[in-house]
Amino acid sequence: MMYDVIIIGGGVVGCGVARELSRYKAKVMLLEKTNDICNGQSKANTAIIHGGYDAKPNTLKAKFNVLGNAMFDKLHEELDVPIQWNTSLVVSFNKDDHPALEKLLQQGIQNGCRGELRIIDEKELREREPNVGSTACEALLVGSGGIVCPYELTIAFAENAAMNGVEFRRNAEVTDLKRLENGNWQVVSAAGTFETRAVVNAAGAYSDVFNNMVSERKVHIRPRRGEYYILDKKYRDVFHAAMFQLPTKMGKGILIAPTVDGTVLVGPTAEDIDDKEDKRTTAEGLAKSLREAGRTWEHIPMRGFITTFSGLRSTGDTGDFVLGEPDDAPHFFNCCAVESPGLTSSPAIADWLSKDIAAKLELAPNPDFNPIRKGIPKFREMNDEERAAAIAANPDFGKVVCRCETVTEAEIREAIRRPVGALDVDGIKRRTRAGMGRCQAGFCTPRTVEILSEELGISPLEVTKFGGTSKLLKEFLFEEGKNDA
Ligand SMILES: Cc1cc2nc3c(=O)[nH]c(=O)nc-3n(C[C@H](O)[C@H](O)[C@H](O)COP(=O)(O)OP(=O)(O)OC[C@H]3O[C@@H](n4cnc5c(N)ncnc54)[C@H](O)[C@@H]3O)c2cc1C
């Protein structure tokens, strides 16, 4: 089978590129290793739309951060992705740190950060954020700082790309890449062997592997783990802005950040590790998150934590994103080492890269491209009238499956039926929030498994949490139809 472009990796970057390429007449396929898209860094990050003050000037990080930041209002309109412009504050806790704040301010100006960017004094800081710690003395205010739902962004990119003709294959790990004599690429994957005119390398933590297979310009990625706590929604209003501390050489430091869904993140740590799959949380890492965040919020309520998680940054050895076609590998396009601010940068990387690919492959515009994608209607956000109308149109809206997040059966079924729909329990969670609330899926999992089994036409015993061997049920204790014994 011959393709124009094959994209390796279904994170926010790969799915963003897929959507942008669907603006052209081209045969495009995305191959994702795991059972679902959005299973790498794109699902486990702080979800900040960064203003762009932190990246070193004249780097790709600085350029794409600022360009990407400016694209989120349009993405919200076209793809129905939740965002909030809640500002970012970089708080200092020592008067001696004033020069460091000043440096960030100048860096932000040089990088071309949009909107308000200024240092605020303690009085204004406390007026804005009365719960900030007692030693806080001033802050950099970043008006263009915001928050986004990273899953919904990635899934929206993928759904819209699929609506516009991109093919998605999951459980399709790419294992080899070869240049053919005719100049095309052969892509060997768990879903088959394919020929393509161009390859996009968006394999996240493994993007160095593919770059190094085809180019002499080597890149090495060492994962940098970040561990977090998530706090219950009742703490959403403790802080309005994303509350950063001064960055360190390991990254942007530990922060307290509200999410668009109303929970609060505390973290992340930054620890270089060797195993690209080691997504554990550790007692030491979590304790560090708490200790450092304790300067920003002195009374973090331990009983408010609902869960913990970690994410692995794709930290490359060049200090910057590695993007585009290497000189020695024509028609191989890198989105390599896209660590933070990669979520913010993803729309701009996708826009720039797809234009470059289209020019080099001489792709014509797709006259049928439709940029609009609507999200799954959220019962929890409807008023009483809307709820009544939704239930009248589809009685499954009247059946609440996840009580913590008020997610209905209608939403869960739609999450499975959509293009690039959910195939497992975690996929339902990312598309609807069922299981993301206070009880952490304790109550809704059995019904979610039943619905997945019905919709996918598989036995409940085959339903998984996240694909592979992660089955949730071992055997039926009773024969079917006799289980009320
Ligand atoms: C702790 C942490 C905090 C962060 N906070 C922020 C933030 O607040 N704001 C911000 O802008 N950015 C942030 N980032 C960065 C951002 O999350 C990433 O830059 C972005 O998600 C990268 O997306 P990606 O698509 O390149 O990678 P990924 O999301 O990792 O996707 C890569 C995909 O490739 C697949 N894959 C790998 N190998 C293969 C193969 N052989 N075949 C097929 N598929 C393969 C993987 O399964 C995965 O799905 C943070 C990152 C971390 C880890």
How long, in residues, is the chain?
Answer: 485
Instruction: Report the number of secondary-structure helices (H) and strands (E) in the chain.
Output: 13, 22
- Decide whether any atom of ligand 1 lies within 6 Å of the 410 Cβ: no
Give yes or no for residue 481 having a pLDDT over 60. no
Kindly report, residue by residue over 265-315, the tens digit of the pLDDT: 999 999 999 999 999 999 999 999 999 999 999 999 999 999 999 999 999
Cα-based distances in Å from 343 to 166, 194, 312: 21, 29, 13
- Decide whether any atom of ligand 1 lies within 6 Å of the 42 Cβ: yes
- Decide whether any atom of ligand 1 lies within 6 Å of the 33 Cβ: yes
**Cβ-based neighbour number of residue 179 at 10 Å:** 15
Query: Distance between CA atoms of 434 and 411, rounded to whole angstroms?
Result: 9
Whose Cα sits closest to atom 25 in ligand 1? 11
Query: Distance between CA atoms of 68 and 74, rounded to whole angstroms?
Result: 11
Mean pLDDT of 356-365: 98
Which residues partner with 2 through β-bridges?
195
455 C-alpha to center of ligand 1: Å? 29
Give yes or no for residue 148 having a pLDDT over 90. yes
Kindly report, residue by residue over 450-461, the tens digit of the pLDDT: 999 999 999 999
- Decide whether any atom of ligand 1 lies within 6 Å of the 206 Cβ: yes
Give yes or no for residue 482 having a pLDDT over 60. no
Query: Distance between CA atoms of 3 and 353, rounded to whole angstroms?
Result: 17
CATH class of 83-147+223-310: alpha beta
Give the lowest-confidence range in 183-192, 297-306, 456-465, 476-485.
Answer: 476-485
Q: What is the pLDDT of residue 253?
A: 85
Contact call for residues 404 and 234 (beta carbons, < 8 A): no
Whose Cα sits closest to atom 32 in ligand 1? 204
- Decide whether any atom of ligand 1 lies within 6 Å of the 34 Cβ: yes
Q: To 10 degrees, the CA torsion angle through 347, 353, 355, 356? A: 170
Phi, psi (deg, nearest 5) at residue 57: -55, 150
Kindly report, residue by residue over 149-167, the tens digit of the pLDDT: 999 999 999 999 999 999 9
**Cβ-based neighbour number of residue 475 at 10 Å:** 5
Close Cβ partners of 386 (under 8 Å, ≥ 6 residues apart): none
- How does residue 32 score in pLDDT terms, banded at 50, 70 and 90? very high
Close Cβ partners of 284 (under 8 Å, ≥ 6 residues apart): none
Mean pLDDT of 183-212: 98
Domain ranges in the chain are: 83-147+223-310, 379-462
Query: Distance between CA atoms of 173 and 71, rounded to whole angstroms?
Result: 31
Q: How many CA atoms lie within 13 A of 172 on its CB side?
A: 21
CATH class of 379-462: mainly alpha
Mutate to test the pocket of ligand 1, among 228, 343, 344, 424 (most ligand atoms within 8 A of CB): 343
Q: Do domains 83-147+223-310 and 379-462 have the same CATH topology?
A: no
**Cβ-based neighbour number of residue 85 at 10 Å:** 13
Q: What is the pLDDT of residue 250?
A: 73
Tokens at residue 226, please? 């970040």
**Residues belonging to the active site:** 50
Q: What is the pLDDT of residue 477?
A: 84
405 C-alpha to center of ligand 1: Å? 26
- Cα–Cα nearest to 351, from 11, 19, 12: 19
What's the whole-number average pLDDT of the chain?
A: 96
Whose Cα sits closest to atom 13 in ligand 1? 340
343 C-alpha to center of ligand 1: Å? 8
Place of tokens 């930041």: 69
10 C-alpha to center of ligand 1: Å? 9
Q: How far is CA 378 from the centre of its chain?
A: 20
Q: What is the pLDDT of residue 247?
A: 86
Kindly report, residue by residue over 232-259, the tens digit of the pLDDT: 999 999 999 999 999 877 778 899 999 9
Query: Distance between CA atoms of 205 and 209, rounded to whole angstroms?
Result: 9
- How does residue 485 score in pLDDT terms, banded at 50, 70 and 90? very low
- Decide whether any atom of ligand 1 lies within 6 Å of the 9 Cβ: yes
339 C-alpha to center of ligand 1: Å? 7
Percent with pLDDT over 70 in the chain: 99
Cα-based distances in Å from 227 to 230, 261, 389: 10, 19, 42
- Residue 14 CA: nearest ligand 1 atom is 25
Mean pLDDT of 384-392: 98
Mutate to test the pocket of ligand 1, among 42, 221, 264 (most ligand atoms within 8 A of CB): 42
Per-state percent for the chain, helix, strand, coil, to nearest 5? 35, 25, 40
Mean pLDDT of 393-402: 98
Give yes or no for residue 484 having a pLDDT over 70. no
Kindly report, residue by residue over 118-145, the tens digit of the pLDDT: 999 999 999 999 999 999 999 999 999 9
Give yes or no for residue 483 having a pLDDT over 80. no
Whose Cα sits closest to atom 3 in ligand 1? 45
Q: What is the pLDDT of residue 478?
A: 77
- Decide whether any atom of ligand 1 lies within 6 Å of the 32 Cβ: yes
Give yes or no for residue 480 having a pLDDT over 70. no
- Decide whether any atom of ligand 1 lies within 6 Å of the 80 Cβ: no
Tokens at residue 206, please? 């493994």
Mean pLDDT of 190-194: 98
| Alpha-helix runs per DSSP H in 239-383 | 283-293, 342-361
Give SS3 for 20.
helix
- Residue 173 CA: nearest ligand 1 atom is 42
- Decide whether any atom of ligand 1 lies within 6 Å of the 16 Cβ: no
- Decide whether any atom of ligand 1 lies within 6 Å of the 340 Cβ: yes
Q: Which helix (H) or strand (E) holds 310?
A: strand 305-316
Mean pLDDT of 58-71: 98
12 C-alpha to center of ligand 1: Å? 7
